[in-house]
Chain A
Amino acid sequence: MIQPLHRIPVVLALASCLLLPALGFGQAKENNRKEDSRATFVHRIGLNDERGLAIDPNKADAGPYSPMQTCSTCHPVSQMSKGWHFNSNDPSVPAGRVGEPWVYFDATTRSVLPLSYRNWPGTFRPQQAGLSEWDMTLRFARHHTGGGFGAPDTPPPPPPSTRPTTQPTTQPGVDPKARWQHAGKLEIDCMICHSGRNEHDISTERFVQAVTFQNHKWAPTVALGLAHVTGSSANVGKVDEDTGEPFPPPKMTWDKHRFDASKKVLLDVVRRPPSERCYFCHTTNSIDPARGENFFTAHHADGDVHIVNGMNCSDCHRHGTDHMVTRGYPNEAKDYGKPELGALTCAGCHLGDPNSPDPANRLGGKLGSPIPAHEGFPPVHFEKLACTACHSGPWPEKTPDELQTSMAHALGLDLPTRRADTTPRIVGPVFLKGEDGKIAPHKMMWPNYWGRLQKDGSVTLVPPAEVTKAVAGKNILKTLRETQADAAVPLTDEQISQTLVLVGAVPNSQGEPVYISGGKLYRRNADGTVKPENHAAAKAYAWPMGHDVRPAGRSLGSRGCNDCHASDAPMYFASVTPLGPFDPKKAESTLMYQYRDTGYAQISAFNGSFRLRTMLKVIGFACAAVIAAVLLTAVVRAITATTNRSITTNRSM
């Protein structure tokens, strides 16, 4: 039957009423409500799903809860979601000082790559390694807050001047492997940080949902214990071989006891995240491989002096509504054009920041911090050294400690496959000059990858997947998973040589195939042997180490000048040997001072001169005493002569 024309507008209007909410018009309006009190605001709140609809646990189609849609009821999440933890893939954000990368390890090709979306020299952009946002999410969601690459909206094109200069500028592409339509986006999960009582289970439930089952959009709900989810979106669209039926989508069962009569949930939201929440992603442990299975030594570590004394990470690493967490390095105020950040550095807090717009912050002793006297230290130390040089990281020894971090080694997750030699191998402290020219302790790792040497001398990365494809079926490289023990076994020269031939034979490839490993670049000779040589592309990637801060009594210099100026002081003469999936015998050790462009003669002469320091003081004081005695005698004689002359004059009168 043909519809009369005059009925069409009515039908359209009716359809609009029914369909528009489903199309997103039902999204909760973003607000910026404030209680403006230092007291904790009790979050007994209703939950919204990703459509912005209020969740009723009694309804079959309810949820999962969306942190963004829930929190936007009161908070400006569009502003918050541009914060430091979520904006790495926004190229318009200044990269700031180099930081800890995501370390990608492909066991088959032994590729170890420091990755970052930020423009940090020495890192690779994930796209260079052939990794899409989907790949990054599956691999690193375990220690990611969500948002950013976990919820990829193509970022607005940045102004030309802010485009990365050391990394390619490719925009996110479409990954055919991506299954966002089933998994949903991994939204920013506010409770990862703001959970006051650890009711948010990041270490097990979120990991299992977000990574193992690819149930990204269900992860925040399950992590909070609000519901139980069965099924995996990774299987959606596949057929269960046992039953012959297609796998069902994830099914959620709400814990209705968590909801009150008005369908609200009490969430223990805190403004200042407990340090233990930060530590899930920001733990660094020294390990001792010599202790075998008990390589983990952190039980004996003292921890950061600030935290031990009752402070929170967020006392210094603050932010406003924008969630741009202060990183606390000296040039941060300049990098981001925010002069107020100067007061949140080590020196700004302890000594005061003379450039602070707040007069109170020009004074030291912020938060009761002790104002250091640094007795006996010539001022040149403070021109040459960052505060962290003496106060941060493990006490330097003849070789740097081996370190494991949350982001690189998935600390915090129950992984029995984690060993002392688990890739990546990170060492520290290595004393290098930072971007501000001051010596500071760094963590260091050595990239391992296949590349192509270009005519201009640069090396372009060959994505691990391309190498795997090139050697497929040739029985050269054994297919391995990163958790397998063999993954740390170095490649033989023969394997390297054969692989270089195959990588070079890839159609349309430009440049000579090379292998970067252990701080060296390997090229294939005409006779099939491989030859290592030095190359800038093989340099280690290092990033500054801010914590754990040691107290004054356990800082370098607390025992005197010889902590750093002895003839074998670790700050200069500790031996740094590259570690990773390569033959340690081929790795070339470097003494710490060699990283700082300082000559051996100068260092050894300077440190050797400290043996004469006492003699210098004795000579100085003895000579000063003689000169003072002569001056004193002269003064006495002058007074005596003047007095005598006065007496003589008086008598003659």
Chain B
Amino acid sequence: MFRLIAILSLILAVAVFVVGLRRRRVAESAADGAPKRRPLTWVERGLYLIMVVGIVGAAVTGLGMVITTGKHLEGWGLMIHCAIAPAFAVGMAGVALTFADRYCFRDCAVRRTTDTTAATKSACCPGIWDAMFWGMLVAGLIVILTAILPMTGWDQYWQHTLLDIHKWSSLALAVLTIMHASRVVRT
């Protein structure tokens, strides 16, 4: 069941990513001359890149293993997964600190009501992207906690529960990150 949902979700996410990229190009060409959003700094880009690399690496080793074999991680795959995990965690924490102000429902709502130009509308993040960003952070937090907590003496019921939560939250994180990356990649 998980494998089917994971495959469909990831296909959907990649489709959204591709469509998102195309729509951004069209919107940008239409908004030539209009005020644009503040571009990302190198620090922000670096942190986002670290996070994405971490998530992709962990998804390939983790979700990839589950999807292809149906088994839990072991051996080299597990080691790579755990080696990448700190990069993902640090990147995600950095992204949380530096990007939070960009994805603020209130600001967008205010700007959309005060400035009705097409350029502003397209440049300002619509609510879906805000939700995606915060969803990504929530999923990331759950992923990190469900990875770390099993190392702290929980019994087998919770080991299995945490592992299941880790699996599903990882899928959610991967899907949200792929979709959200289409927004960030050309900012």
Contacts and interface: CB of A to CB of B under 8 A. Distances in A.
Given A376-B151, A602-B75, A634 B100 contact: yes
Interface stretch (A26-34, A268-276, A279-287, A605-613): A605-613
6 closest A-B pairs (Cβ-Cβ)? A373-B155, A623-B89, A620-B148, A626-B93, A623-B93, A630-B96
Interface in B84-104: 85-86, 89-90, 92-93, 96-97, 100, 104
Contacts, number: 100
A634 B145 CA distance: 20
Contacts of A383: 72
Interface string A603-638: 001100100010011011111101110110110011
A380 interface: yes
A164 to B, nearest CB: 34
Given A373-B155, A376-B153, A626-B96, A621 B148 contact: yes
Contacts of B96: 626-627, 630-631
A378 interface: yes
Nearest to B143: A624
Interface of B is mostly: helix
Interface of A: 372-380, 382-384, 602, 605-606, 609, 613, 616-617, 619-624, 626-628, 630-631, 633-634, 637-638, 641
B85 A620 contact: yes
B168 interface: no
B154 A375 contact: yes
Nearest to A626: B93
Contacts of A616: 82, 85-86, 148
A392 B55 CA distance: 41
A461 to B, nearest CB: 39
Interface of B: 72-76, 78-79, 82-83, 85-86, 89-90, 92-93, 96-97, 100, 104-106, 134, 137-138, 140-141, 144-145, 147-148, 150-156, 159-160, 163
Given A605-B79, A630-B97, A623 B92 contact: yes
Contacts of A376: 150-154
A383 B154 CA distance: 18
Given A373-B155, A377-B156, A377-B159, A641 B150 contact: no
15 contacts: A372-B156, A376-B150, A379-B163, A380-B73, A606-B75, A620-B144, A620-B148, A623-B92, A624-B148, A627-B137, A627-B141, A631-B141, A633-B100, A634-B134, A637-B104
Contact of B144 (A372, A602, A624, A641): A624
Nearest to A628: B141
B71 to A, nearest CB: 8
A631 B138 CA distance: 8
Nearest to A561: B151
Contact of A623 (B72, B90, B151, B155): B90
Contacts of B160: 379
